[in-house]
A and B are shown apart, each in its own frame.
Chain A
Amino acid sequence: MTTSVDVVSGTDSPYALSHLDALESEAVHIFREVAGEFERPVILFSGGKDSIVMLHLALKAFAPAAVPFTLLHVDTGHNFPEVLQYRDRTVAEHGLRLHVASVQEYIDRGVLRERPDGTRNPLQTVPLTEAIQQHRFDAVFGGGRRDEEKARAKERVFSLRDEFSQWDPRRQRPELWQLYNGRHAPGEHVRVFPLSNWTELDVWQYIQRECIELPEIYFAHEREVFKRSGMWLTAGEWGGPKAGEETEKRLVRYRTVGDMSCTGAVDSDATTLDAVITEIAASRLTERGATRADDKMSEAAMEDRKREGYF
């Protein structure tokens, strides 16, 4: 062999950013790109941890000016009351404007029908897409992360949707360097995912570093729950428990915040951010595998919902 040999130094450059600083810088860059390129952007805000981190990043990106976006919440009618309180408190605190699209209203009008399994997550697609059309939003920020699910792993940071909000994975624009192409025809819009490259653990470490307040259901507390399809669901007026399902009081917390009918709690005694981070790092289950019933419906459940316009 004639190749010369030279061992690469194992030390990082003193200029390398920490991974959280790198992710934060990238997300801020994405928010500012949208502010610069679009007319009517909106942030999907549910009061869940990912949307809370998104809002925090947007506040930092435009400080000391106000966030140049409004917020949109698709309310399934089965949301956790603590989360709705958090949502309204946050909106008031930052002087933001919140649009609410209500699944319950669509059901009451007879436009949507309750599913036999009582799950309302898939029902969010129609109110979401109609709200986008009605308000003529041209960029819609979502807190989706590529680590959540294998169909999400294929999602672009800027994801073009047609007038029906449909996602076509085979017709996605290639995303080169960090030159995001947001051009779209009237009626089309772009879904934007500033947290694409974050993992669940990154989100929690960032929440800890930035001292971001969360709804209390993310921390261990006693709650009336019952078991359905292997998950602890909160008992309540939304439709549980049914006959044969028994409630009990358990010490639990939530890893994700979604519709009460399909978001499971996990047994936990983690009452602090440190404890939550330790618990997540040790978990043998993914966030969605542990707590989302709707993703378990089929191997392509998320892909199929995304094609229809789900976020």
Chain B
Amino acid sequence: MTAITATATATAAGAATTGAAATATGATAAGAAAHPAERFAALSPATTLLRFATAGSVDDGKSTLVGRLLHDSKSVLADQLEAVEAASRGRGQEAPDLALLTDGLRAEREQGITIDVAYRYFATPRRRFILADTPGHVQYTRNMVTGASTAELTVVLVDARNGVVEQTRRHAAIAALLRVPHVVLAVNKMDLVDYAEPVFAAIAEEFADCAARLGVPEVTAIPVSALAGDNVVEPSARMDWYGGPTVLEHLETVRVAGAPDLLPARFPVQYVIRPQTAEHPDYRGYAGRIEAGSLHVGQEVRVLPSGRTSRISRIDLLGRSVSRAVAPQSVTVLLEDDLDIARGDLIAPAEAAPEPSRDIRATVCHLADQPLTPGRRVLLRHGTRTVRALVRGIDSRLGLDGLTHHPAPDGLGANDIGRVTLRTAEPLPLDAYGDCRPTGAFLLIDPADGTTLTAGMNGDPAAGPGTAGAADVRPC
């Protein structure tokens, strides 16, 4: 199911976005033009957090978009701007280069490219944002995967003059593979196509079509000019045919956190808390973070991999006892029975516990320079557990041109995405990644030097929920 929220035509926009337009006006009046003091004065500690990532090719203007987002939301302070202005002058540039706000390393500034993921922070009265700013080069696919792995939303940038290109499909494919819940298509450089609606509409439609084939759950398309500031923070006066939200408004209003009741609880045990003091002689609590669903006192639970069952007798939420807790809260769980439970175990509802298995079929993105080859012995990190594992076979490699799988018997190189078969030394309770991101994900680690080799997703995440099978990533 792909719900497209792109308001690509004037009629559609007029019919459907009355609510969005109203919030747009409100946001402008309250925020965009205001001094930072007024913006923050409205901040309550109860605002929510949105983690999002950006993806774009080298010259799509991604750094400019990020710079514009930070600058126009008044998140850049005077000393940072002065530093950027001084550095821009030093390089002989007339206008401050907003991209310098985000390129933090010496080598990045020298080469004028973004090498590594950087994290940015900004806030509006409605929400706090953590932005994983990822490089666009083909050889940094792994960084895009890194940024997308924790993101609830990805902004894919397209140059309006070029439309959907190979790199755009790659970004969409990665967002689909990693099951990022929301995708925004920012059609940039609208100033260079005379702010023409048909140009935007055609790109939005092509991308929506591609995203639907890839299994991206939801796309919002927005026409912008990062350089001129159209529709990034401020609504554009030059595109009155567009009635949807600006990029910032959409980030502020997109719904985060699902309904934990829809997912069975997943609680990897991190650490056993045993004070053994006079005050707490018998306290034995299992510390961890609820990765999915919710837990409640009285619930019957199963402990994996042993399979023993018990009931939750108490939940401590960082200093107070609660009857119920939800993902992603860090809590301490106490059980009625004295079971042998250690770090690495998983607590799940007795009636909906995953089946531990030693055989894994997964989609992976290989990160390291040394290839992943059949027969290789690795460590596999899942939740709080690390076990030995064997790469039994490389089933296929995803060709990033046509997004189809090809045979790859020899192995996967850096930045390759492919399908592998693994066998672990101990059974692991993995979920299908498409069903549950935190407990469907794993890492492969080099046992010799600890290098993180590979990002793994159990099953075939692009095929949609509940399918740990073998459907292809469909070409688009």
A243 contacts the other chain (CB 8 A):
no
Are B255 and A13 closer than 8 Å at their CB atoms? Answer: yes
B93 contacts the other chain (CB 8 A):
no
Stretch of B155-163, B228-236, B266-274, B304-312 at the chain-chain interface = B266-274
Enumerate chain B residues within 8 angstroms of A178, measured Cβ to Cβ. 150, 438
B351 contacts the other chain (CB 8 A):
no
Whether A183 contacts B445 in the complex (CB less than 8 A), given A4-B3, A10-B253, A282-B37, comes out as: yes
Are B119 and A181 closer than 8 Å at their CB atoms? Answer: no
A74 contacts the other chain (CB 8 A):
no
Are A183 and B106 closer than 8 Å at their CB atoms? Answer: no
Complex: how many Å from CA A22 to CA B152? 14
B residues 273-297 in Cβ contact with A at 8 Å: 273-275, 277, 279-280, 283, 287-289
Enumerate chain B residues within 8 angstroms of A60, measured Cβ to Cβ. 318-319
Quote the shortest CB–CB distance from A115 to chain B (angstroms).
22
Enumerate chain B residues within 8 angstroms of A35, measured Cβ to Cβ. 270-271
B146 contacts the other chain (CB 8 A):
yes
Enumerate chain A residues within 8 angstroms of B117, measured Cβ to Cβ. 154, 174
Q: What's the A-B contact tally at a CB cutoff of 8 Å?
A: 263
Enumerate chain A residues within 8 angstroms of B45, measured Cβ to Cβ. 18-20, 205, 208-209
A275 contacts the other chain (CB 8 A):
no
Whether A63 contacts B455 in the complex (CB less than 8 A), given A170-B115, A286-B77, comes out as: no
B373 contacts the other chain (CB 8 A):
no
Are B260 and A65 closer than 8 Å at their CB atoms? Answer: no
Enumerate chain B residues within 8 angstroms of A113, measured Cβ to Cβ. none
Are B289 and A151 closer than 8 Å at their CB atoms? Answer: no
Are B49 and A22 closer than 8 Å at their CB atoms? Answer: yes
A294 contacts the other chain (CB 8 A):
no
Complex: how many Å from CA A5 to CA B205? 12
Are A172 and B116 closer than 8 Å at their CB atoms? Answer: yes
Complex: how many Å from CA A178 to CA B150? 7
A residues 1-17 in Cβ contact with B at 8 Å: 1-13, 15-17
Whether A153 contacts B257 in the complex (CB less than 8 A), given A19-B47, A300-B106, comes out as: no
Whether A174 contacts B77 in the complex (CB less than 8 A), given A4-B3, A18-B45, A147-B121, comes out as: no
Partner of A177, one of B37, B150, B277: B150
Complex: how many Å from CA A209 to CA B44? 11
Chain A contact surface mostly: loop
B residues 170-216 in Cβ contact with A at 8 Å: 201, 204-205, 208
Are A196 and B119 closer than 8 Å at their CB atoms? Answer: yes
Complex: how many Å from CA A1 to CA B254? 24
Are B37 and A13 closer than 8 Å at their CB atoms? Answer: no
Enumerate chain B residues within 8 angstroms of A29, measured Cβ to Cβ. 270, 289, 330
Interface centre among A1, A11, A160, A303 (most CB of B within 10 A): A1
B390 contacts the other chain (CB 8 A):
no
Are B40 and A281 closer than 8 Å at their CB atoms? Answer: yes
> In the complex, which residue of chain A has the Cβ closest to the Cβ of B80?
A286
Whether A18 contacts B318 in the complex (CB less than 8 A), given A174-B143, A179-B441, A285-B79, comes out as: no
B109 contacts the other chain (CB 8 A):
yes
Complex: how many Å from CA A170 to CA B149? 20
Whether A174 contacts B119 in the complex (CB less than 8 A), given A3-B8, A36-B271, comes out as: no
B470 contacts the other chain (CB 8 A):
no
Are A6 and B5 closer than 8 Å at their CB atoms? Answer: yes
A32 contacts the other chain (CB 8 A):
yes
Enumerate chain A residues within 8 angstroms of B381, measured Cβ to Cβ. 179, 181
A residues 162-220 in Cβ contact with B at 8 Å: 169-170, 172-179, 181, 183-185, 196-197, 199, 201-202, 205, 208-209
Enumerate chain B residues within 8 angstroms of A18, measured Cβ to Cβ. 45-48
Are B5 and A23 closer than 8 Å at their CB atoms? Answer: no
Partner of A1, one of B15, B205, B367: B205
Enumerate chain B residues within 8 angstroms of A285, measured Cβ to Cβ. 77-79
> In the complex, which residue of chain A has the Cβ closest to the Cβ of B42?
A281
Enumerate chain B residues within 8 angstroms of A65, measured Cβ to Cβ. 273-275, 277, 280, 283
Complex: how many Å from CA A150 to CA B208? 35
Are B145 and A64 closer than 8 Å at their CB atoms? Answer: no
Quote the shortest CB–CB distance from A293 to chain B (angstroms).
13
Interface centre among B36, B121, B279, B384 (most CB of A within 10 A): B121
Known contacts A179-B382, A289-B78; 6 further A-B pairs (Cβ under 8 A) = A17-B329, A63-B319, A175-B146, A281-B36, A282-B36, A300-B105
What are 12 A-B contacts with C-beta separation under 8 Å?
Answer: A18-B46, A19-B49, A25-B328, A25-B330, A29-B330, A36-B270, A65-B275, A150-B118, A183-B379, A281-B37, A289-B79, A303-B105
Q: Please give me the 8 A-B residue pairs with the lowest Cβ-Cβ distance, nearest first.
A: A183-B450, A289-B79, A281-B40, A150-B104, A282-B37, A10-B253, A16-B257, A65-B275
Q: Interface on B for A, CB 8 Å cutoff?
A: 3-9, 12, 15-17, 19-20, 23, 35-37, 39-41, 43, 45-49, 77-80, 83, 87, 101-107, 109, 115-121, 123, 127-128, 130, 142-143, 145-146, 149-150, 201, 204-205, 208, 218, 220, 250, 252-260, 270-271, 273-275, 277, 279-280, 283, 287-289, 316, 318-319, 326, 328-330, 343, 367, 379, 381-384, 437-438, 441-443, 445, 449-452, 455
